[in-house]
């Protein structure tokens, strides 16, 4: 007997498609609602109707945009669980396409929630994709002190001085794992949209008594990751460079740290939250809990690819970048017993295999660096 019926918006995408596999394997029926954005799906191998070939054939498919008249309401037929992952996801792009981003991210959430509040349905649980970008800078402390700090973004003058760390007076602040209660300081329209849509789902979910969890994803990586669009993460970019015998180009001094989480750990977090019967309305981090510097990523990838190529440290700043942010992953474990399982080196090895076999492992760094410079987005 089916465990329930999950509607996965964005289910043809990088994270959504892995979630679809896991849900089907765990005994759910699945419907995918996806508009197959060319930016995301342009490079994947697709069938005659435009669906990526990796998408599980056992899922029911609806092609369309949540904003299309009536589409969400009809997609909800028989649905008991909602996983909302569809979004416009280019952080930089969001700053020039404010109307589109706000429509696709915030207004789409409004449409979904209004349908849920006005029409009869069977939805009993929701999980929505949020992002670490809503934090802005991560959490810090003065070395030796227990007091946690949430400093603002570094200012222009500091960055022009190539002074990369955050300070309190003369002291360099020490980054610590970021917890969900850190104040939110979204620094892009994408991040503002994600914060708003998280709040919208949590507040309407609470009012309708539908348990809802917003998952704040850190830097997800893995197979099916789009390789040439603006939200391609640093690891895939570095692999393309190394495969083309070029040094990875490192912004700042390369000591900035992030939290790289395997896409299957992310997909399992969604599945676990949907399967749980906890009556909660909460936001939870989804990371690996491990902080890794950009230099370490470049070195690890060169080692795994057996390339004797050192990264090129540019000592330049990419506008909008934060310095350090990595997850405190305790809340997801406390509430749901969910912990990430994948090893970083093994995961990076899989990413390398995926990039090497994907259709176009082209190195687009030169073009994207020129574009960043033209738009004055590197300093
Ligand atoms: C951003 C978003 C995040 C999103 C992620 C992946 C923010 C704060 N975060 O994260 O929501 O999930 O993209 O799409 O907006 N770097 C280099 N060389 C390169 C590329 C990147 O040194 O060629 C550095 C960047 O300067 C940054 C780090 O690598 O310090 C990580 O960059 P990236 O992979 O783009 O992700 P974030 O900016 O952390």
Residue 41's nearest CA partner among 68, 14, 81, 7 is: 14
The whole-number pLDDT of residue 359 equals 61
List Cβ neighbours of 50 (8 Å cut-off, separation of 6 or more).
36, 41, 63
* pLDDT, averaged across the chain: 93
Q: What is the mean pLDDT of residues 4-8?
A: 98
Q: Which of 108-112, 116-120, 341-345, 356-360 shows the lowest per-residue confidence on average (mean pLDDT)?
A: 356-360
222 pLDDT tier (thresholds 50, 70, 90): very high
In the predicted structure, residue 39 carries a pLDDT above the cut 90: no
In the predicted structure, residue 230 carries a pLDDT above the cut 60: no
The whole-number pLDDT of residue 362 equals 58
What confidence tens digit (pLDDT) does each residue in 109-123 have? 999 999 999 999 999
- Give me the residue label for tokens 């909008």: 320
The whole-number pLDDT of residue 363 equals 61
Return the residue whose CA atom lies nearest to atom 11 of ligand 1: 133
Q: How far is CA 171 from the centre of its chain?
A: 32
The whole-number pLDDT of residue 58 equals 98
Q: What is the mean pLDDT of residues 131-135?
A: 98
Instruction: Kindly state the percentage of the chain with pLDDT values over 70.
Output: 94
Query: What is the β-pairing status of strands 260-262 and 249-250?
Result: unpaired
What confidence tens digit (pLDDT) does each residue in 155-171 have? 999 999 999 999 998 89
Q: How long a stretch of residues is the chain?
A: 379
List Cβ neighbours of 68 (8 Å cut-off, separation of 6 or more).
none
Instruction: Kindly state the percentage of the chain with pLDDT values over 90.
Output: 83
In the predicted structure, residue 22 carries a pLDDT above the cut 60: yes
The whole-number pLDDT of residue 92 equals 84
The pick from 136, 219, 226, 286 for probing ligand 1's pocket by mutation, whose C-beta has the most ligand atoms within 8 angstroms, reads 219
Instruction: Specify the ligand 1 atom closest to the Cα of 258.
Output: 39
By the 8 A CB rule, do 127 and 273 touch? yes
In the predicted structure, residue 245 carries a pLDDT above the cut 60: yes
The whole-number pLDDT of residue 285 equals 98
376 pLDDT tier (thresholds 50, 70, 90): low
Q: What is the mean pLDDT of residues 238-267?
A: 96
Instruction: Specify the ligand 1 atom closest to the Cα of 325.
Output: 39
CA atoms of 230 and 377, how far apart (whole Å): 13
Buried b (16+ CB within 10 A) or exposed e, 191-224: bbbbbbbbbbbbebbeeeebbbbbbbbbbbbbbb
Residue 34's nearest CA partner among 11, 50, 16, 53 is: 11
Q: Please report the beta strands in 234-288, taking only residues with DSSP state E, as ranges in sequence order.
A: 249-250, 257-258, 260-262, 281-286
Q: What is the mean pLDDT of residues 138-164?
A: 94
Indicate the burial class of 27 (C-beta count within 10 angstroms; 0-12, 13-18, 19 or more).
exposed
What confidence tens digit (pLDDT) does each residue in 278-294 have? 999 999 999 999 999 99
Return the residue whose CA atom lies nearest to atom 8 of ligand 1: 133
Ligand 1 centre and the CA of 188: distance in Å?
A: 13
State whether residue 15 is helix, strand or coil. helix
The whole-number pLDDT of residue 42 equals 66
CA atoms of 110 and 128, how far apart (whole Å): 13
DSSP state of 117: H
Q: Which phi and psi angles does 14 have, rounded to 5°?
A: -55, -60
The pick from 258, 285, 320, 377 for probing ligand 1's pocket by mutation, whose C-beta has the most ligand atoms within 8 angstroms, reads 258
List the chain domain ranges: 5-226+260-290+322-343
Return the residue whose CA atom lies nearest to atom 29 of ligand 1: 234
Domain 5-226+260-290+322-343 of CATH type 3.40.50.720:
yes
In the predicted structure, residue 107 carries a pLDDT above the cut 70: yes
CA atoms of 233 and 213, how far apart (whole Å): 25
In the predicted structure, residue 179 carries a pLDDT above the cut 70: yes
Instruction: Specify the ligand 1 atom closest to the Cα of 232.
Output: 14
Tell whether pTM > 0.85: yes
Ligand 1 pocket, Cβ-based, cut-off 6 angstroms: 91, 131-133, 188, 219, 231, 233-234, 237, 249-251, 256, 258, 294, 318, 321-322
The whole-number pLDDT of residue 319 equals 85
CA atoms of 220 and 231, how far apart (whole Å): 11
In the predicted structure, residue 198 carries a pLDDT above the cut 60: yes
């Amino acid at each position: 007997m089916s465990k329930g019926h999950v509607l996965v918006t964005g289910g043809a995408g990088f994270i959504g498609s892995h979630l679809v596999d896991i849900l089907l394997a765990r005994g759910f029926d699945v419907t995918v609602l996806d508009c197959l954005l060319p930016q995301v799906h342009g490079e994947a191998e697709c069938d005659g109707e435009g669906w990526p070939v990796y998408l599980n054939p056992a899922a029911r498919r609806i092609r369309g945009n949540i904003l299309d008249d009536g589409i969400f309401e009809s997609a909800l037929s028989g649905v008991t669980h909602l996983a909302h992952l569809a979004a416009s996801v280019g952080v930089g792009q969001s700053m020039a396409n404010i109307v589109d981003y706000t429509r696709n991210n915030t207004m789409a959430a409004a449409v979904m929630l209004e349908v849920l509040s006005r029409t009869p349905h069977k939805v009993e649980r929701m999980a929505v994709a949020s992002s670490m970008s809503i934090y802005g800078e991560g959490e810090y402390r003065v070395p030796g002190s227990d007091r946690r700090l949430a400093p603002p973004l570094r200012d222009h003058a500091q960055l022009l001085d190539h002074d990369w760390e955050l300070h309190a007076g003369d002291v360099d602040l020490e980054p610590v794992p970021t917890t969900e209660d850190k104040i939110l300081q979204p620094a892009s329209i994408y991040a503002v949209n994600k914060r708003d849509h998280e709040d919208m789902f949590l507040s309407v979910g609470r009012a309708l008594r539908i348990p809802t969890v917003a998952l704040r994803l850190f830097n997800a990586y893995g197979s099916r990751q789009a390789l040439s669009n603006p939200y391609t993460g640093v690891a895939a970019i570095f692999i393309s460079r190394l495969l083309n015998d070029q040094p990875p180009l490192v912004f700042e001094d390369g000591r900035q740290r992030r939290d790289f989480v395997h896409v299957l750990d992310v997909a399992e977090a969604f599945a676990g939250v949907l399967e749980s019967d906890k009556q909660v309305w909460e936001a939870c981090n989804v990371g690996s809990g491990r902080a890794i510097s950009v230099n370490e990523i470049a070195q690890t990838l060169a080692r795994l690819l057996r390339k004797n190529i050192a990264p090129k440290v540019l000592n330049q700043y990419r506008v909008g970048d934060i310095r350090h942010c990595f997850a405190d992953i305790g809340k997801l474990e406390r509430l749901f017993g969910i912990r990430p399982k994948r090893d970083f080196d093994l995961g990076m090895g899989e990413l390398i295999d995926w990039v090497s076999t994907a259709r176009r492992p082209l190195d687009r760094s030169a073009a994207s660096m020129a574009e960043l410079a033209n738009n004055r987005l590197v300093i």
